[in-house]
Amino acid sequence: MSGESRGNHLDRLTEFRRRACPVLHTVAEPLGGYVECTMHPTEYVGTVERTLERFRSDLRTMGFHREPIAALKRHTDGRKSAGSWVFRRSPLAAGQLHVTLFHDDLEYIDTYAHWEHSWIRHPIKHYRATGWDTTGGVATMRSLLDRHEITYRLVDSR
């Protein structure tokens, strides 16, 4: 059974970002900017045992929203992200928890996280990754998963 028929189809925003970001990156990179980047292994939260569709629903329940502004993330093994989500305590919060998802298998989602400045309140600090907090982001996301009884496993090779 294919991933799409098992709840792992990508949303339109993610499909659009997968097509547009590499093109935009070729323009931004020579100017010192970026529109795509590779995830750092220290951002690995865990592998959630859910379909993409179900985990997106879980994220909405936890108060996350899709993040259209984020750079397209690539896994160290070359996979493109299957979604970018943020949690802000309020729409104008100074910081945000940024979560990136990758398909691991048909029913497994590799989850990565970090705290960062909100691009709404602090666009320059956000873009330059000033104050980036991987340790706090991973700990916060694991705590949220535990609180919502969403199981995950840790895989050494991430």
The dihedral through the CA atoms of 89, 96, 63, 154 has a sign that is: negative
- What residue ranges do the domains of the chain occupy? 4-153
Q: Which residues contact 2 (CB under 8 A, 6 or more apart)?
A: none
> What would the pLDDT profile of 14-56 be if each residue is shown by its tens digit?
777 777 766 665 766 777 765 687 889 999 999 999 998 999 9
Q: Which residues contact 81 (CB under 8 A, 6 or more apart)?
A: 14, 72, 73, 74, 75, 100, 101, 102
Indicate the length of the chain as a whole number.
158
pTM: 0.82
**pLDDT over 90 for what percent of the chain?**
47
> Which residue has 């750079």 as its token pair?
71
